[in-house]
Structure 1
């Protein structure tokens, strides 16, 4: 018997979890950046003093300027309207104590650079919660898990007639006929191609009755998975096993190198970016799997749900991470160090500390810098399809493999050392 959509929705909305698994998950990362709604800060939103970046609290700064009297507050508002730097205004308003006052009113970030005179013109901020603390949204983690599950479906569950060849054929057709639509529509093309089928083509069987909800979100198997935001990324120190103090959740402004390569695989310098990042991340979040709700889902074409425990989810993520890693190893073992446009492109530390290891030590790739391979299942498609998708949906780079460029992070000694976004997630001890 098939019941109405409203009946199914009522059951979903009034259902109280009876059987579930909930685990605290520890998340670690060498360095990462999760973007905010604002892609870059305006000149009035930060002040650079040598190798220190100050991010003033606008409300606190406005109140402090008001207390100084005169036209300082009005001048501050005018500076914001003109989108100009507030550095000279702060010096004038607070006199000899301006730097101390600025420190009191700001989040302070060291700028990783060896050049004392280095001036940054664009700064990408990291996401903050409602009270201004850095964190990782649960939605970002769950989105990465969803992509890992899609990868697992394709590798293990989907019948051949719905597999890579079929998806590639449809993609080639849509690309050749210009049917991917505008930029907004392109973001959701994978939903109509396969995601809606793999995650949402389910009926629900509960208490001996079958329900067929109208809306995809009510048929989505990941409705049974809840992922919390992480704890705030609060800077702190701990002693390691050798008794040495180690800093965690250290916010920095780092230079990010955007590079690609010439046809002979000599490294090619494209551009630098300055990004607010968190170094040596240690935090926690919670995954809750409603096992009873998950048991309700029945795929209309018989595809099995590939997880029933949180351990299953972590293993699925690990498999996807390894496949991404393998693709990166292919790239980096071919790349040759080079000096280009007065920039020394020496990636030996990236190889030594990351891709020189055949086994991926991470479980997911999150946030900015993870690229097409980290946020999609593009790695399974033929190179020419990858390229056409990139050229259509992103920034075109005709006759060049996709993804074309890589992002790496320069450390405080000026060496290209880190790759952003790789994270290890595992059940927390205790």
Structure 2
């Protein structure tokens, strides 16, 4: 038996993806708006070009937002004053309005972190393994800190500690980097509540749908061998990893079904319901799977999800103990009660927003696995 299996991953975005780097960009300090595009400033180059030898001018520059130093003739994508230019405008044009920045490498290239992909796969594997092991939710087994509440169940499924965790055998590289070019755009996101009401706009940099990343996945099968057992590893989960595509697709099909049903009941959720209906009917290639990851995937895709919510009484106690619900909520009300969705806006000739419609979820992708060895 081979010591490892190697796969080339082709990761195709079906909807826009946002994976944040934790930074919020500020209008007129980090970016400027010009002719329908968002221009990311290179503050160092812009300030270096100013005459700072004059003390009065230097003092004025210190109090001036960098974008206000620009002239119309400066707005050239090749100008070193700008790191990159992306299509789209944030809804707010006020000074200091913020945009959540997309993760990039030090050269402002887009990439998909292997850790993000592995985290999403771990969630899917845990959901599937829960069903295989026929586990039942027990509040007494959960930790006090809600960030690690399910750690005991994960230990049951994958192993008691990091040295004996089955997912040691799952190794995923960061994707090959891609230039920003036309792949990045400004996405307007809102929280869509169950009654159809909308939360405040959230502006994010997002990678466009139809973008394709490539990465490498390795299964270290030696960790399940007789050699490993002699060294007291005794890892479980080999079958789940060998059938990774089918396991993850089973989880995704369940999520798609539930999301389709959720949006079917939302007054202005028609476009999202239609998207999930098409996704549910799509024919996924052999040795491939659908997956949602990144910001905006929601509570159910970061926990055991339906394995917990199918038990109504347990779920109510869980929500109360960890204070999961925001705002007023009555026992029995659906949880979670909202989704983050990308909006499409209609504008008049002056650029003013005249209408908006929830359009797409974030972060759905198709992963195709080609075996190399």
For normalisation by structure 1, the TM-score amounts to 0.70
1:188 aligns to 2:148 (yes or no)? yes
1:354 aligns to 2:296 (yes or no)? no
The DSSP-based 3-state class of the residue aligned with 2:25 is: coil
**What do residues 69-122 of structure 1 show as CA deviations (whole Å, max 9, x unaligned)?**
77666655555xxxxx4322x23xxx4533338954321112157x8x865822
Matches of 1:68 and 1:136, distance apart in 2: 43
Alignment check: 8 A CA contact 1:364 1:425 kept: yes
TM superposition shift of 1:313: 1.3
Matches of 1:74 and 1:428, distance apart in 2: 59
1:199 aligns to 2:144 (yes or no)? no
Q: Which residue of 2 aligns with 1:408?
A: 341
1:110 to 68, 87, 102: 87
* Pairs within 5 Å for 1:207-222: 216-222=161-167
- CA 1:104 to 1:130, structure 2 compared with 1: closer, same or farther past 3 Å? closer
- CA 1:335 to 1:252, structure 2 compared with 1: closer, same or farther past 3 Å? same
1:320 aligns to 2:251 (yes or no)? yes
Q: Which residue of 2 aligns with 1:19?
A: 3
- CA 1:350 to 1:401, structure 2 compared with 1: closer, same or farther past 3 Å? same
Matches of 2:159 and 2:62, distance apart in 1: 49
TM superposition shift of 1:349: 2.2
TM superposition shift of 1:390: 5.1
TM superposition shift of 1:45: 1.5
- CA 1:26 to 1:357, structure 2 compared with 1: closer, same or farther past 3 Å? closer
**What do residues 382-409 of structure 1 show as CA deviations (whole Å, max 9, x unaligned)?**
2454455456264524224221111111
- CA 1:302 to 1:69, structure 2 compared with 1: closer, same or farther past 3 Å? closer
Q: Which residue of 1 aligns with 2:216?
A: 286
**What do residues 122-146 of structure 1 show as CA deviations (whole Å, max 9, x unaligned)?**
2111111122212111000001111
RMSD: 3.3
The DSSP-based 3-state class of the residue aligned with 1:132 is: coil
Alignment check: 8 A CA contact 2:22 2:100 kept: no
Matches of 1:96 and 1:253, distance apart in 2: 21
- CA 1:305 to 1:384, structure 2 compared with 1: closer, same or farther past 3 Å? same
Q: How many aligned residue pairs are there?
A: 344
The answer to which of 291-300 and 397-406 deviates more is 291-300
TM superposition shift of 1:427: 2.1
- CA 1:304 to 1:23, structure 2 compared with 1: closer, same or farther past 3 Å? closer
Matches of 1:283 and 1:289, distance apart in 2: 20
Q: Give the structure with the higher percent helix.
A: 1
- CA 1:19 to 1:303, structure 2 compared with 1: closer, same or farther past 3 Å? closer
Alignment check: 8 A CA contact 1:21 1:290 kept: yes
TM superposition shift of 1:229: 0.6
Q: Which residue of 2 aligns with 1:419?
A: 361
- CA 1:105 to 1:303, structure 2 compared with 1: closer, same or farther past 3 Å? same
Alignment check: 8 A CA contact 1:329 1:356 kept: no
- CA 1:303 to 1:104, structure 2 compared with 1: closer, same or farther past 3 Å? closer
Q: Which residue of 1 aligns with 2:349?
A: none
- CA 1:317 to 1:119, structure 2 compared with 1: closer, same or farther past 3 Å? farther
Q: Which residue of 1 aligns with 2:48?
A: 63
1:140 aligns to 2:116 (yes or no)? yes
Alignment check: 8 A CA contact 1:26 1:285 kept: yes
Alignment check: 8 A CA contact 1:260 1:405 kept: yes
Alignment check: 8 A CA contact 1:259 1:271 kept: no
Q: Which residue of 1 aligns with 2:351?
A: none
- CA 1:313 to 1:383, structure 2 compared with 1: closer, same or farther past 3 Å? same
The DSSP-based 3-state class of the residue aligned with 1:139 is: helix
- CA 1:305 to 1:72, structure 2 compared with 1: closer, same or farther past 3 Å? farther
Matches of 2:77 and 2:369, distance apart in 1: 43
The DSSP-based 3-state class of the residue aligned with 1:123 is: strand
- CA 1:101 to 1:318, structure 2 compared with 1: closer, same or farther past 3 Å? closer
**What do residues 148-202 of structure 1 show as CA deviations (whole Å, max 9, x unaligned)?**
111111111x2x4xx12xx23436xx6xxxx72xxxx3211211x211222223x
Bigger Rg, structure 1 or 2? 1
Q: Which residue of 2 aligns with 1:244?
A: none
2:66 to 82, 86, 89: 86
**What do residues 40-71 of structure 1 show as CA deviations (whole Å, max 9, x unaligned)?**
22341122235321111333334334689776
Q: Which residue of 2 aligns with 1:368?
A: 295
Matches of 1:68 and 1:27, distance apart in 2: 51
